[in-house]
Amino acid sequence: MNKRNGIFAIMMILFFTSCKKDNIDSSPVTVNTKDFLVNGDPSGGNYNFFSFETATEITPADSATNKWDFAMRFETFIVNSNASGPGNAGVQIVNQAFDAVTSAPATGYRYDTTVSQKAIKGADWYNYNPTTRSFSPIAGKTFIFRTATGKYAKLEVLSADPTDDAGNLVVPPTRPTKIKYKIRVAFQGNGSATF
Amino acid sequence: MKKSTAIFITFLLTNIVFGQSDTLFNKTMDEIFITATRTERKIGNVAVPVSIINKKTIQLSGSLRLNDILQEQTGFLITGGTGSNAVGGGIFGNGIQLQGLSPDHTLILLDGEPLIGRQGGVMDLSRFAVGNIRKIETVKGPSSSLYGSDAMGGVINIITESAIGKSFTAGIRSGSFFNSDLYTSGNSKRDKLSIFYFINRNSSNGYELDKTSPEKTQESFSNNTGQLKFVYQLDPRTKITTNSRLFYGLQKSRYAINSRELNVSGDGRTYDYLVNPVITHRFNNSFQTSLRLLTSGYSFTQQLDSISNKKEYYYDRFKQSFYRVENQTDFSWNANNTLTTGGGFTLQTVNTTRYSKKQQQVMWHAFAQHEWRGVKNLILISGLRYDYNTAFASRLSPKLAAKYSLNSKIKLLASYGAGFKAPDFRQLYLNFTNNAAEGYSIFGSNEFSLPFLQQQQNLGFISTILPAANLITELSPETSQGFNVGAQMIPLSPINIEINVFRNDINNLINYIPVATNVNGTSVFSYINVNRAFTQGAELNISYKVKDLQISTGYQFLLTADKDLLEKIKNQEVYGRDNVNGPARLMNRSDYSGLLNRSKHMVNFRIFWEKNDNKLDASLRFIYRSRFGVTDKDGNGFANMKEEFAKGMLQANTTIGYRINKSFRIQVGINNLLNQIDARNLPNLPGTNWFTGIHYSFKK
């Protein structure tokens, strides 16, 4: 039974992956792993802006445009809509491995409704240890974004390290000035909700 | 009278049998006598797994501080330097882990009285010199039925020198890192009054394990200890003992804050003292009572200033006082029954810069224990203790233990005990907002207030109050149920084997949880009884002793788990990564490695040799611990990827001693022969280091 099912499964996989390949040719889902160095000051200062489409950081000069999708400062996320920007972005966090998220849900996206009511709360995606003053992103928390322009993207925070301005790791009691995030992002450019 | 003599002999035999595997070269009957006359020892040393470390072992090992000697015992793990969660180790000095329970779950006594002064739940064992110790007795497994709070993983009782006899000792020792140790002790007797004193100064320049960091791994420090003990024999039946201790420790600190160069420096100062008068009156040989008074205090102050402009950078102060009155009465109405009852009153106060005001706790306790020897070869002990206090829920702790002598070579032991740990002061009273670092706040459960959070929300400081905020309520003590089953065997005369299998189920573990989110995204925390855990394992000790040689080996196998986390893994809710930046995947039961800072395997192998005429002695000790989880990088609450573990560690220590004449003895030694270093995970373990010392002793 196992063998036959196994063969069947392989065939199905081949079938679907080949189908997917066709999709990729016409509308590629780009997956990138990026270092994202953000302002490490919890109390104030600039956010660092990120665009899924270019998979790069966006200059703060463009903060009032649709060019960015989310931004971070310390461990705070803001998304480009409502209280935080002119775009149409929204976000939700699902309890699933990044690779297992194959499509973006149609509903359930949240926004920064006010400056203090943000879509993403720290407790949603990391554990903070006040004793060691370290926070660790929780594995299996996948962020699903609707981008500022209405396309879909997913994101996984792989690691968060306290660093100095140059991105070199620092350990207590040296206070970090930046947090270096390693993020994995996937962007669906054709407007569909599948990854 | 004959009956009572029989009782005492039973106690003595119990002591001999229990102590055997760890008691090197133990031939002094008076040692055991003293133990037998100390009432607490009578209670604790029956039918539960215990060990004794005597003065000889401490001397031959060349130990200076309590952690030095404890780390070489089977099942004793010194924690230090490894950060972890509430059920893990600690970053607050050298703590002790027994049966897999963290340092805040082991009670440490000095001559039967609880020691105070824990930082983050950890009693730093390096505060205690060993030069004044006659022996160290340890009971493993819970014994809150006798000692109340903290006695979950075990109880370590440091028994200092008696004031009997006339002697004088002094010694000087120096070693690597400009480590120096000076001591003198002595006792004297005139008529009814005996005196014992001990003075020690231990200092070091510290050491460096990681040259890439501008900060030293261990900065220079000095520890100063004084002890004075009076014994006054009022009449043949009444004895007054007053023990007092004074400690001052200075720890230098230098940090490179936001810099590649040292820019902040300062001192951490620790003081502790205790005064402990005990009056014991023996009405007759089967009825005695004692009144114990204890006044003790502890304070820790840390001040850090900028090196360039001398401005204050950081200030932290913690001050604790502890007062106790306790009575204990022992009554044996016939040869088969001994009843021990007692009760007491405790007042404790704590004040720190992190609390809103000085906090105070009042506690009452009463206990009773019955020992029954009605059937040949069997000892049955039952006990119960009630702890009441003003700050948190009260607690009833039962105990049941049995010991059966199968024949002259095999003895079987089984015991059940309840343990608890009262919520500590920080869990109740912490009121702390870290403005300097990440801006988080922590409130102890008694300081926590939902209306306050709502007010903060209205003022725009807090963005969201989480549903968990409604769960914060009066804390209950952390509790445990412990089972120990074991055997003691002497299969072939000089070989002694001890086996013990243990299981501890821990409930109501206190942990912090986020209760609200600040506007800047950081969290507000408070404490809650939330976690359940277990530790289980087995311990094996084998010792072989011939005239001048003792070889012993010990092994502890340990499994631990956070029960709630296990359930989440079972429900397929827990993810993890196989390497630091790898993809997340669902975790299986087999990925789960247990609580952080627990080694599955711990092994020791020790050889002590002392020539018949005491002229020459030597020791060689190996201690191994297998790999252990130190951090959680993927947020699932346990160590699963390689980078979350510290690797296993094999330490070797050796000494050689030579007695020049009746009065002088020299000793040289090398610790950490194999130069095992792990700067990040074991900063308390310096590389290979040596020492040499000379000791003078005079005995009349």
Query: What's the CA gap between B7 and A138, in Å, rounded?
Result: 60
Residues in chain A: 195
Total Cβ atoms within 10 A of residue B309: 8
- Average per-residue pLDDT in chain B? 86
HSE-CB for B85 with a 13 A CA cutoff: 26
Q: Looking at per-residue confidence, does B134 or B31 come out higher?
A: B134
Token pair recorded at residue A21: 């390949």
Check: CB of residue B345 under 8 Å from CB of residue B324: yes
Please say if the pLDDT value at position B23 is more than 90: no
Token pair recorded at residue A94: 């699902």
Nearest CA in chain B to A138: B635
Total Cβ atoms within 10 A of residue B210: 14
Single-letter code of the amino acid located at A67: K
SS3 B234: strand
Check: CB of residue B195 under 8 Å from CB of residue B217: no
Token pair recorded at residue B226: 């004084």
Could you give the angle at the alpha carbon of B482 between the alpha carbons of B631 and B115, nearest 5°? 70
**pLDDT band, residue B181 (cuts 50/70/90):** very high
pLDDT in tens, B508-562: 988 888 888 777 667 788 888 888 999 999 999 999 988 889 999 999 999 999 9
* Contacts with B257 from chain A: Cβ below 8 Å: 173-175
Partner-chain contact B576 A139, CB within 8 Å: yes
HSE-CB for B514 with a 13 A CA cutoff: 22
pLDDT of residue B15: 35
Which of A41, A131, A134 to probe by mutation at the B interface, max B CB count within 10 Å?
Answer: A131
**pLDDT band, residue B9 (cuts 50/70/90):** very low
By mean pLDDT, which of A126-140, B401-415, B599-613 is the weakest? A126-140
**pLDDT band, residue B376 (cuts 50/70/90):** confident
Q: Is B517 on the interface with A (CB under 8 A)?
A: yes
SS3 B279: strand
Residues 6 or more apart from B151 whose CB is under 8 A from it? B106, B107, B142, B143, B144, B419
How many residue pairs from chains A and B have C-beta atoms closer than 8 A?
132
Of A76, A128, A140, the CB nearest to B575: A140
pLDDT in tens, B221-236: 999 999 999 999 999 9
**Based on the structure, what is the number of domains in chain B?**
1
SS3 B258: coil
Residues in B 455-484 with any Cβ partner in A closer than 8 A: 460, 462-464, 466
* Contacts with A141 from chain B: Cβ below 8 Å: 575, 635
pLDDT in tens, B190-219: 889 999 999 999 999 999 888 887 888 888
Mean pLDDT to the nearest integer, B119-141: 90
ipTM above 0.90, yes or no: no
SS3 A76: strand
Query: What's the CA gap between B479 and B488, in Å, rounded?
Result: 29
Nearest CA in chain B to A130: B440
CA distance B572 to chain A (A): 10
Check: CB of residue B143 under 8 Å from CB of residue B114: no
Mean pLDDT to the nearest integer, B491-512: 90
- A65-92 as b/e, with b when 16 or more CB fall inside 10 Å? ebbbbbbbbbbbbbbbbbebbebbbbbb
Contacts 24+ apart (CB under 8 A), B256-262: B256/A174, B256/B213, B256/B214, B256/B215, B257/A173, B257/A174, B257/A175, B257/B313, B258/A164, B258/A174, B258/A175, B258/A177, B259/A174, B259/B214, B260/B214, B261/B214, B262/B214, B262/B215, B262/B307
CA distance A112 to chain B (A): 11
Q: Looking at per-residue confidence, does B446 or B506 come out higher?
A: B506
Check: CB of residue B103 under 8 Å from CB of residue B89: yes
Partner-chain contact B522 A122, CB within 8 Å: yes
Partner-chain contact A138 B460, CB within 8 Å: no
CATH of the domain at B606: 2.40.170.20
* Contacts with A118 from chain B: Cβ below 8 Å: 463, 521
CA distance A115 to chain B (A): 8
* Contacts with B512 from chain A: Cβ below 8 Å: 130
Partner-chain contact B525 A76, CB within 8 Å: no
Query: What's the CA gap between B202 and B225, in Å, rounded?
Result: 9
CA distance A148 to chain B (A): 22
Residues 6 or more apart from B487 whose CB is under 8 A from it? B410, B411, B412, B413, B497, B498, B499
Residues in B 116-145 with any Cβ partner in A closer than 8 A: 120
Interstrand relation of B312-334 and B287-306 (parallel, antiparallel or unpaired): antiparallel
Mean pLDDT to the nearest integer, B170-196: 94
Q: Is A166 on the interface with B (CB under 8 A)?
A: no
Omega before residue A173 within 30° of 0, cis: yes
Of B91, B463, B512, the CB nearest to A132: B91
Nearest CA in chain A to B435: A43
Q: Is A159 on the interface with B (CB under 8 A)?
A: yes
In which residue are the tokens 């003790």 written?
B296
CA distance to A62, B40, B338, B474, per residue, from B365 (Å): 68, 15, 20, 20
Residue B622 lies in domain: 2-699
* Contacts with A130 from chain B: Cβ below 8 Å: 434, 440, 442, 512, 525
Residues in B 559-578 with any Cβ partner in A closer than 8 A: 573-577
Q: Is B398 on the interface with A (CB under 8 A)?
A: no
Check: CB of residue B516 under 8 Å from CB of residue B464: yes
pLDDT of residue B26: 39
